[in-house]
């Protein structure tokens, strides 16, 4: 088997990353090479391809200038065997196993590399989506019988808030696996699988052999045209023998615990009493890591991490475990000496902002001892279209009470639209504001009526600069408005969803800056830190 250098002048002497691809389609390979070249990887890399197609088709592969691309012809196709053989040529510190039907979004590979740089992270997978924007992969989990499944696959869009934070997971898909080359060489893919399952076996073998964990990186995203190759060969289902072989891995135990169970550090947190924000911070870490792994305001000699939220609760380092303190603001008139003393005595400092990190540095706390973790906001703080109802309800239904109720019972509407009112009776939240303030506070006035002489609220809203969503009744046709047919709930739902999507898009620049910055993000960033601190400690 000989490796062919397609661009000999572009060969990288000592690449940091080797990207390994199996392909049989020049179109797929060309598209992938273009996406890789434009990805902003930020590290030296090479692309190695195991070619399963016709020899003549290799000439159709277009490689961008400046990209080191090497190709070897290898048949017949077998995911494990081809990748194992190809990996022998890889010269990078890291290897990325990448399907040729994956199109990484710009920055995806760079973000994955940034995460695996942590000594506590052993393998990395990313967020993969289908052409219809539904989720394909955000971590692989296991049923009680040991069979694997992708969480929320096909069920939600790829950018669902539940997927916006990183997560340590039992396994990731073989369509995108990033790991250290030396560790892959110690494992390699199991070549006994016929069609699929080698990726699951590799993940579980890794968990059995190494102490590092497997991380799903939410901000690294890509389009995956899944099964594009397997559809051509008619292999779209996992054969029974492959499923049975997966179970031989997933049912194993490691140190008395299921191999499919993510291991968590033991953390003791010292903080204020329940009901206050710092205790909420502790609760969120406990919720994320599991109550069996976290104790709040209790003695725990077996704790691996002792975390003080905040530094004011620290008095002396416990006899065992790594000591961490959280630092919010520095007040020279209150606990200033405590701030400085604690920062120097603890093993590590968590700064709640870059400004606080700078203050710690100004007191000669080294960068290696500082990690910034921002709290962010709950996931329910997100853009939603707000429409308002003004006026009373009436017997007989002419005000469209049934229309409003139909909207409230539609999950597609309630996910994107918040309906409020000035008075009781609509079965929606009531905003007790002056009329003009109410009009100015909502995005649109909703007129669900079937019959009106005016209506007056329509005119009042327009005077406040607020558009109405309204049917062609009364005075409405004479003035600007968003129209829908009288009494047509289906048409009204369509209008509301279109307006809601436009509303979210308009605010995307701001709201997207908060992706992953929520309580789940706060907790996972602490878990990453705790794992890294324990890894460092194990080396001393």
Domains parsed from the chain with CATH numbers: 4-258 (3.90.550.10), 267-377 (3.40.50.2000), 385-506 (3.40.50.2000)
CB of 110 closer than 8 Å to CB of 39: yes
Distances (CA, A) of 163 to 110, 129, 170, 216, 279: 19, 12, 16, 10, 25
SS3 90: coil
User: Beta partners for 97?
Assistant: 20, 177
**Cα within 13 Å of Cα(346), Cβ side:** 30
SS3 181: helix
The alpha carbon of residue 336 and the mean position of all alpha carbons in its chain are separated, in whole angstroms, by 38
Q: What is the pLDDT of residue 509?
A: 82
Query: Residue 529 — φ and ψ, nearest 5°?
Result: -60, -50
pLDDT by 10s per residue, the chain, length 540: 556 655 555 667 789 999 999 999 999 999 999 999 999 999 999 999 999 999 999 999 999 988 999 999 888 889 999 999 999 999 999 999 999 999 999 999 999 999 999 999 999 999 999 999 999 999 999 999 999 999 999 999 998 888 999 999 999 999 999 999 999 999 999 999 988 899 999 999 999 999 899 999 999 999 999 754 444 444 556 788 989 999 999 999 998 999 999 999 999 999 999 999 999 999 999 999 999 999 999 999 999 999 999 999 999 999 999 999 999 989 999 889 999 999 999 999 999 999 999 999 999 999 999 999 998 777 778 899 999 999 988 877 789 999 999 999 999 999 999 999 999 999 999 999 999 999 999 999 999 999 887 899 999 999 999 999 999 999 999 999 999 999 999 999 999 999 999 999 898 788 777 777 788 999 999 999 999 999 998 887
Indicate the pairing of strand 140-142 with strand 148-150: antiparallel
Indicate the pairing of strand 69-73 with strand 17-23: unpaired
* Six-digit token string for 494: 């369509």
Strand intervals (E) in 130-238: 135-137, 140-142, 148-150, 167-168, 176-180, 213-224
Query: What torsion do the CA atoms of 520, 525, 531, 533 make, to the nearest 10 degrees?
Result: -150
Report the distance separating Cα 115 and Cα 516, nearest Å. Answer: 15
Q: Which pTM does this prediction carry?
A: 0.84
Report the distance separating Cα 180 and Cα 166, nearest Å. Answer: 20
Q: What is the largest CA-CA distance in the chain?
A: 84
Report the distance separating Cα 261 and Cα 250, nearest Å. Answer: 10
User: Beta partners for 480?
Assistant: none
Report the distance separating Cα 56 and Cα 504, nearest Å. Answer: 48
Q: What is the pLDDT of residue 513?
A: 76
- Cβ count near 171 (within 10 Å): 28
Report the distance separating Cα 234 and Cα 395, nearest Å. Answer: 62
Q: CB-based burial of residue 299 (10 Å sphere; 0-12 exposed, 13-18 middle, 19+ buried)?
A: exposed
Report the distance separating Cα 538 and Cα 540, nearest Å. Answer: 6
Angle subtended at Cα 457 by Cα 455 and Cα 462, rounded to the nearest 5 degrees: 105
Q: What is the pLDDT of residue 1?
A: 57
């Amino acid at each position: 088997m000989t490796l062919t250098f397609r661009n000999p002048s572009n060969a990288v002497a000592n690449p940091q990353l080797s990207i390994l691809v199996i392909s049989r389609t020049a179109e797929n390979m060309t598209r992938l090479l273009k996406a890789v070249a434009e990805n902003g990887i930020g590290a030296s890399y090479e692309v190695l391809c195991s070619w399963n197609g016709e020899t003549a088709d290799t000439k159709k592969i277009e490689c961008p200038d400046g990209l080191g691309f090497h190709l070897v012809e290898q048949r017949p196709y077998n995911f494990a065997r081809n990748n194992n053989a190809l990996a022998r040529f890889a010269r990078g510190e890291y290897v990325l196993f990448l399907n040729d039907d994956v199109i990484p979004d710009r920055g995806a590979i760079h973000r994955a590399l940034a995460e695996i740089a942590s000594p506590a992270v052993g393998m990395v997978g990313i967020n993969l989506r289908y052409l219809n924007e539904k989720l394909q992969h955000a971590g692989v989990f296991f049923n009680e019988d040991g069979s694997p499944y992708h969480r929320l696959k096909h069920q939600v869009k790829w950018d669902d808030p539940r997927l916006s934070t990183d997560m340590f997971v039992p396994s990731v898909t073989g369509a995108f696996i990033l790991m250290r080359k030396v560790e892959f060489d110690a494992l390699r893919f199991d070549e006994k699988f016929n069609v699929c399952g080698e990726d699951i076996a590799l993940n579980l073998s890794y968990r059995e052999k190494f102490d590092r964990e497997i991380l799903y990186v939410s901000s690294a995203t890509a389009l995956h045209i899944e099964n594009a190759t397997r559809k051509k060969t008619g292999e779209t289902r996992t054969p029974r023998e492959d499923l049975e072989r997966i179970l031989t891995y997933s049912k194993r135990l490691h140190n008395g615990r299921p191999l499919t169970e993510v291991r968590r550090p033991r953390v003791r947190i010292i903080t204020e009493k329940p009901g206050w924000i710092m205790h909420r911070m502790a609760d969120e870490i406990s919720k994320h890591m599991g109550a069996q792994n976290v104790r709040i305001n209790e003695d725990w000699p077996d704790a691996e991490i002792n975390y003080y939220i905040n530094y004011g609760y620290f008095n002396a380092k416990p006899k065992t475990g790594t000591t961490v303190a959280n630092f919010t603001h520095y007040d020279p008139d209150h606990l200033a000496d405590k701030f400085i003393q604690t920062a120097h005595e603890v093993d590590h400092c968590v700064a709640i902002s870059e400004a606080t990190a700078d203050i710690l540095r100004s007191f000669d706390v080294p960068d290696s001892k500082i990690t910034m973790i921002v709290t962010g906001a709950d996931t329910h703080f997100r853009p939603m279209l707000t429409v308002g109802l003004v006026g009373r309800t009436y017997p007989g239904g002419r005000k469209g009470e049934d229309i409003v109720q139909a909207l409230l019972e539609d999950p597609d509407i309630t996910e994107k639209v918040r309906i409020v009112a000035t008075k009781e009776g609509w079965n929606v939240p009531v905003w007790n504001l002056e009329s003009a303030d109410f009009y100015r506070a909502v995005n649109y006035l909703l007129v669900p009526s079937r019959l009106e002489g005016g209506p007056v609220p329509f005119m009042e809203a327009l005077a406040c600069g607020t558009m109405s969503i309204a049917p062609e009744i009364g005075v409405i046709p004479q003035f600007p408005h968003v129209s829908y047919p009288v009494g047509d709930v289906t048409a009204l739902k369509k209008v509301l969803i279109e307006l809601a999507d436009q509303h979210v898009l308009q605010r995307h620049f701001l709201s997207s800056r908060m992706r992953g910055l929520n309580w789940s993000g706060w907790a996972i960033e602490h878990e990453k830190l705790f794992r890294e601190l324990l890894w460092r400690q194990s080396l001393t």
